[in-house]
A = this chain, B = another copy of it.
Amino acid sequence: MAQRKKVPSTVVRRLPKYYRHLSDLLKEDILRISSKELSQRMGITASQVRQDFNFFGGFGQQGYGYNVQHLFDKISSILGVNIRKKLIIVGAGNLGRALANYKNFKNRGFDLVGIFDVNKELVGQVIDGIPISHFNNIDRFLEENSVDIGILSVPYDETPAAAQKLADCGIRALWNFSTMDIRLPHDVAIENVHLSDSLMVLSYKLNHKLSGD
C-alpha cells in the first residue's frame, strides 16, 4: 500500500483500537459500517475516522459505509499482524510469567517461542509449554530460531545490556516493560511501555470526575 506521507504517531496508536473494534464487528456478523457508527463505537468523531483512513488512501465508499472485512484486512496488513510473528521473553519474573500466560497475544498473531532468565532456579521451569532457558544460551537460540520480537521484562539495571544483546543477535523489535527507556543506535523498533502513564490518566479522570473510559 502506497503511503504518501509519514503517518503521525497518534494515528498509528489508534490503529490497534480500530483493529479491536472491527474484530468485534466481525464477531457480531456486521458486514458494513459507516464512519459515523464506527466513530461512535470508538468514542471519537466521524471526521477523525475519515482523516485517519485518508493516511492510507481511504478504504472504500463512504456513501455505503465501509466493508468491515475489507477494512479489518487492510488494517491488519498495515499493522503487520496478518503475518504471524515470533516472540521471546527475556526476564521470567512475575511480569515475564504474566506475559507468557497472556492468551491475547496468540489471538493477535504473536507466538511465544522462548523464555530466558539468568536465575538458575528458574531455568528449566516450563511456562505454558515453553521451558525457561539460560540467557547465556540466547546467541545459539537466535542462530537456530527466527524471532521477530524480544520482550524485555528484566530489572531496571539489566535493561541496557539485555537490549543491546538482543539487538546484536539480530532482533529488530523490542517491547520493553522495564521502567528504563531503551534507546539503541541500531535499526531496532522499540516500544517502551509506561504502565504508570495509564494510571496517571486514570488519576486525571478521577480528579476531573470523568466516568467511563
Contact = CB atoms under 8 A, between A and B. Distances in A.
Interface of A: 9-10, 12-13, 15-17, 19-20, 43, 78-81, 85, 93-95, 97-99, 101-105, 108, 110, 148-149, 172-175, 179, 181-184, 186-207, 209-213
Given A15-B204, A205-B173, A101 B94 contact: yes
Given A108-B200, A148-B206, 12 more contacts: A79-B203, A79-B204, A79-B207, A85-B203, A97-B98, A98-B98, A110-B196, A173-B202, A175-B199, A187-B209, A191-B213, A193-B198
B213 A182 contact: yes
Given A80-B206, A149-B206, A200 B101 contact: no
Contact of A203 (B20, B80, B98): B80
Given A98-B98, A199-B175, A16 B194 contact: yes
Contact of A81 (B43, B172, B191, B200): B200
A80 B189 contact: no
Nearest to A172: B206
A102 B149 contact: no
B19 A195 contact: no
A191 B213 CA distance: 6
A207 B196 CA distance: 27
A151 to B, nearest CB: 9
B15 A200 contact: yes
A197 B191 CA distance: 11
A195 B197 CA distance: 13
Contact of A201 (B12, B187, B188): B12
A57 to B, nearest CB: 15
A88 B194 CA distance: 19
Contacts of A101: 94
A209 B17 CA distance: 21
Contacts of A200: 15-16, 19, 79, 81, 108
B81 A195 contact: no
